[in-house]
Amino acid sequence: MNSLSEKQVVGIWQHQLLDGKELTTEGGEPIRIIYPGRVNDDHGADFRDAVIVTDRGLMRGDIELHVKSSGWRAHRHHLDSAYNRTILHVVMWHDTRGATRLQDGRSVPVLSLHKYMKVPAGQWPDVACSPASFSLPCFNITRYLPANIVAEVLDGAGEERFFAKASRFRVDLAQVGAGQSLYQGLMGALGYSKNKLSCLELARRLPLEILESAV
């Protein structure tokens, strides 16, 4: 039980190395994984923007993984608001009682993977790290959902992201004007996820008008 690392559990989840059975949370709730999420290389849950379906309908959010469910409290995620977007706690083994509690008081279901693995337990570490096992689950998404539903999910997520960005630009336009707003937007994009905030701060401290006056 302790021979598997958290990195290996992440690999198993990322590449959905499961046997195709109907999944059920530890609370007895049926669950379908539409999209397991994208790896998060920053603070917060392991996977961002996952899409799942439960009795409560379609849900979007983050997914956190541990070897054992007790890892949630051991890592003090229950005290960290960065994990409040979590919609599912995925573990290899469930060694605690009840659902996982977030910092904001809500709880999320726990999914134990050991019940659904394709291969015997002794092969899990090798399978999790084998390039031959890797595939992108989104390629096969239409096996689980009709194409129109997939399109609806993607359209909804795209519109949500677009309007959120548009709202931020409207605020910037009102405060700093068109040129500086565009400059800050470009600087933020050049910083990608890791350095976005630093690049935005640089754009504010070294505004466009100073750069233009130096030309």
Q: Tell me the pLDDT band of 78, cut-offs 50, 70 and 90.
A: very high
Name which of 143, 141, 95, 93 is nearest 117 in CA terms. Answer: 93
Among all chains, which residue has been given the structure tokens 């690392």? 5
Q: 199 and 97 in one domain?
A: no
Note whether 78 and 138 are same-domain residues: yes
**CB 73 within 8 Å of CB 92:** no
In a domain, 18, yes or no: yes
Q: Which pLDDT score, from 0 to 100, does residue 21 have?
A: 74
pLDDT at 35: 87
Task: Count CB-CB contacts under 10 A for residue 55.
Answer: 9
- Are residues 67 and 111 both part of a single domain? yes
pLDDT tens digits for range 136-180: 555 556 655 677 777 887 888 888 888 888 888 888 888 899 999
How high is the pLDDT of residue 132? 46
Q: Which domain holds residue 111?
A: 6-144
Tell me the chain's radius of gyration from C-alpha atoms: 21
CA 94 to chain centre: 21
Domain boundary pick from 111, 144, 177: 144
Residue where one domain finishes, among candidates 96, 118, 144:
144
Q: Examine the domain organization and report whether 139 and 170 are in the same domain.
A: no
Residues 161 and 147: their CA atoms lie apart, in Å, by: 21
Same domain for 70 and 21:
yes
> Tokens 């009795």 belong to which residue?
55
Decide if pLDDT at 126 tops 70. Answer: no
Inter-residue contact 146 to 166 (CB < 8 Å): no
Residues 131 and 173 reside in one and the same domain: no
Whether the per-residue pLDDT at 122 is higher than 80: the answer is no
Q: What is the pLDDT of residues 79-88, one digit of tens each?
A: 999 999 999 9
| Average confidence score pLDDT of the chain | 85
Indicate whether 86 and 176 sit together in one domain. no
In a domain, 1, yes or no: no
pLDDT digit string, tens, across residues 4-37: 888 889 888 887 778 767 899 999 999 999 889 9
Domain count, the chain: 2
Which pLDDT value is given to residue 137? 54
* Domain identity same for 96 and 162: no
Q: Tell whether 35 is covered by a domain.
A: yes
Do the domain assignments include residue 159? yes
Same-domain check for residues 129 and 178:
no
Nearest to 45 by CA among 61, 63, 59: 63
* 108 and 27 inside one domain: yes
Poorest-pLDDT segment among 46-55, 87-96, 104-113: 46-55
Percentage with pLDDT > 70 across the chain: 86
Answer for the pair 32, 52: CB distance below 8 angstroms, yes or no.
yes
Q: Is residue 131 part of a domain?
A: yes
**Domain end call among 144, 168, 195:** 144
Q: Count of residues for the chain?
A: 215
Nearest partner of 144 among 23, 61, 28, 62, judged by Cα: 23
201 in the same domain as 140: no
